[in-house]
Amino acid sequence: MSNLRDLVPSTHSLFVFEAAARTLSFKSAASELNVTQPSVSHSIKTFEKHCGTALFVRDNRGVQLTEAGRQLYDEVRTSFRRLEQRLESISDRGTKYVTFAASTSLAAHWLAPQLYHFQEEHPDVRIKVVATDRDVEPDHEIDVTVWVRPRSFDRPNSWFVCDEIIFPVCSPAYLLSHPAPQTIDELVQHQLIHSSDAFRKRMGWPEWVETAGGDPGEIRPNIVFNDYQLTLQAALAGEGIALGWSLTAQHLLNNRLLVRPISSQIKTDRAFFLLANEARTKRCKVLVEWFLTQSKELRK
C-alpha cells in the first residue's frame, strides 16, 4: 500500500493546495473548487500541520509559496498533469486519433508532406500514421488505409483513388549526368534500381520492360532493395532509375524531386482504393474527403 495516504490529510487537500499554489490566491482557489474561502484556508492549515512545515506565506498582499511549498507544487503539478494525460488516453474523453495505415513509401512521400496542411485546415482532427509493409484490414485499430486491387474491386466504405500506372522515375540530377533514354532499349542500359517487396506484389523491371515492348534479357539487376521506400530513396539520391507508381510518386513529381526520363508507362488492370473502418466512417469522413481531393488530378 502507498504511504501517500499517511503523508496527506486527504486527496482533496492536494486539489486545494494545487489550486491555491497555481493561482496564489485562496479566493480564486475557492471559486474554482466551488467552496468558501475559509474552507480553503482551513484545508491549507490542516495540510501544513500534517506536513509539519509552512507551505504559504500570508501577508496583506495575499499569499506566496514558501520554498517547501514551491517544491511540493512542482511535484504536484507534474504528477497531476501526467495522471490527467493517462486518464484522458484511456477514457472516452481522451484525444481521438484517426489512424491511417499506409506503405512506408506512401507514408513518407505522399502523406507526410501534405498532412501538415490538413492539420492547419482541421485542427480538431488528430492523425496517427502507421507505416506497414503489408495490407491491413480497417478494424478497431486502423481507421483508414490504401489497397491496390483489381479495377473491379467494390465493397462498402471503399473509394476509387486512381488507376495503377507505372513509369520510370529518376532525379533531375541523374539526367544531368546521364543521357536521357529515348527508347526502351536505351532505358535498360541505364542503372535500374530494383525492388522486391515480401508482402506486396509489385511489377518489377523485367515485367515492365517486356510489357512496354523491350527485351528484359538486357536488364542488369545490380541494385535490389527489399523495401520500395529504399528504392525511391536511391532514385532521389541520383543512384539510378526506379519504377514509380501513379499515387506514390504524385507529390514527388509535382515538386520536381523526381522526373520521368521517358514518357512510356504501363496502365495495369489494378487501381488504388481508399478503405475506411465501417464502424467509424463518420469520424473518418473529413480525412477521406481530403485524401480524395488531394488525389483528384490522378483521376482526370
24: left (phi over 0), alpha (psi -120 to 50) or beta: left
pLDDT tens, position by position, 167-190: 999 999 999 999 999 999 999 999
**pLDDT exceeds 70 at position 91:** no
pLDDT of residue 141: 81
**pLDDT exceeds 90 at position 239:** yes
Give the range with max mean pLDDT: 13-22, 199-208, 272-281.
13-22
Task: List, as one string, the DSSP characters of the chain.
Answer: --THHHHSS-HHHHHHHHHHHHHT-HHHHHHHHTS-HHHHHHHHHHHHHHHTS--EEEETTEEEE-HHHHHHHHHHHHHHHHHHHHHHHHSTTSPPEEEEEE-HHHIIIIIHHHHHHHHHH-TT-EEEEEE-SS-----SS--EEEEEEETT---TTEEEEEEEEEEEEB-HHHHHHSPPP-SHHHHTTS-BEEE--SSS----HHHHHHHTTS-GGG----EEESSHHHHHHHHHTTS-BEEEETTTTHHHHHTTSSB-SS---EEEEEEEEEEE-GGGHHHHHHHHHHHHHHTGGGG-
Over range 86-93, report the average pLDDT: 62
How far apart CA 6 and CA 50 sit, in angstroms, is: 9
Over range 158-175, report the average pLDDT: 97
pLDDT of residue 89: 60
**Position 1 confidence tier, pLDDT thresholds 50, 70, 90:** very low
How far apart CA 37 and CA 148 sit, in angstroms, is: 65
Domains recognised in the chain with CATH numbers: 4-90 (1.10.10.10), 97-162+270-299 (3.40.190.10), 164-267 (3.40.190.10)
Give the range with max mean pLDDT: 91-105, 127-141, 202-216, 269-283.
202-216
**Position 106 confidence tier, pLDDT thresholds 50, 70, 90:** very high
Nearest residue to 280 (alpha-carbon basis) of 135, 130, 132, 142? 142
**pLDDT exceeds 60 at position 135:** yes
Over range 219-232, report the average pLDDT: 87
pLDDT of residue 47: 95
